[in-house]
Structure 1
Amino acid sequence: MPIFNKVKPRPATDPRPPRIAPKAKPDAYRVLSQAEALPELGSLLEKENEISTSVRADRAELKLLERELAVDATPEVHPDVAALLGDSPSSKASKRKAIADTRHRIAVGETALVEIQKRRLSLETKASLAVCDAVRPEIGKRVGALVAALQAADVAHGELNELILAIEAEGVSWASLGPIRPHFLGNASDGSGRIANYLKDVREAGYAQ
């Protein structure tokens, strides 16, 4: 009986155009990190990373030394006794000293990391203020652009509202015109709309005078 290869159906063609990843703007504004805005904090973070790396290495070394000591079957002689006898320290004694020294380094490193954490907390508010000071001119520029657009929208909102009120004054139902009243902007007649409130807030914050 002949065997026929089944023809696989062709995949449906995707009518959508291929997705193109957006390119980063060459002039995109970059906000400084806290470490960049406050060099004191940057130095502290570098030191924290350095000590953390050292502590991790010491912990790995401690595990290795403890495993070696556990399987070391050589006689153990106290270092002071070995010195009196003119012998070199025994293998076990050397390992125990290395373990003690490593544990001491780990304890010192961990204590230093706790102190660094305290200093970081005391610097974070200062660093945040430094970032805000650096970004303030750019924020002012963008808030100003938004304010200008919102002021234009506020004027357009008022003009639309005047026309709707004129239609209503004639006793005409304007429902057939669709949902044209932007309720999300608030009341356009008494200056209590959301745009007015936002403009008031940014002016009080020192922007868009």
Structure 2
Amino acid sequence: MPILYSQPDSGNCYKPRLLMAKLGMSFRHVTVSALDGSTRTPDYLAKNPNGKVPLLELDDGRFLAESNAILLHLAEGTRFLPSDAYARALAYQWLFFEQYSHEPYIAVRRALMVYPERAKEATPERLAATLEGGDKALGVMEAQLQKTPYLAGEEISIADIALYAYTHEAERGGFDLRRCPAVSAWLGRVAADPGHVPLGWLPE
């Protein structure tokens, strides 16, 4: 059985848990957190020298880090990775967008406002910059979701799993999703997809 090392309240860690739940995959969960230093222990660094979560340990003992790489691996041969080459490339496009144009603003602003230990970093300048960047990212998503029900087209894919994680928490970072009706409707579609679980869900 694969083992997922993750922090329960992290959106990046939620991504693989959500996909595995939707796929009905069995896995064991080990809680590791950047907040308590457990990602910096010698034992964990031996598994992932980058000292971050999530981390997937495969049945054969190999490890795979980075949330979107884990999504790509888990989605292979499933409904979440398009078989058409162009549609698959579009899903990849949104994965890169999530990490470079979305997560650095929406996830970071949420963290600044949710975690007390990050409060000292929440300067007016940082909050303004993350709000501007996050609003821009939501605008890009809104434009696409006015055209198609899901980010990479007509069917749900790992692009939607990746971007759902922090978008559905965006209001905790002070973003107003009422300005993005297509994004809000999309959030509802992803949540209605079979096997959906909330952010804090862990396997029994």
Q: TM exceeds 0.5?
A: no
| Larger RCO: 1 or 2 (CA < 8 Å, sep 6+) | 2
Q: Which is strand-richer, 1 or 2?
A: 2
TM, length-normalised to structure 1? 0.23
- Tell me the TM-score normalized by structure 2: 0.23
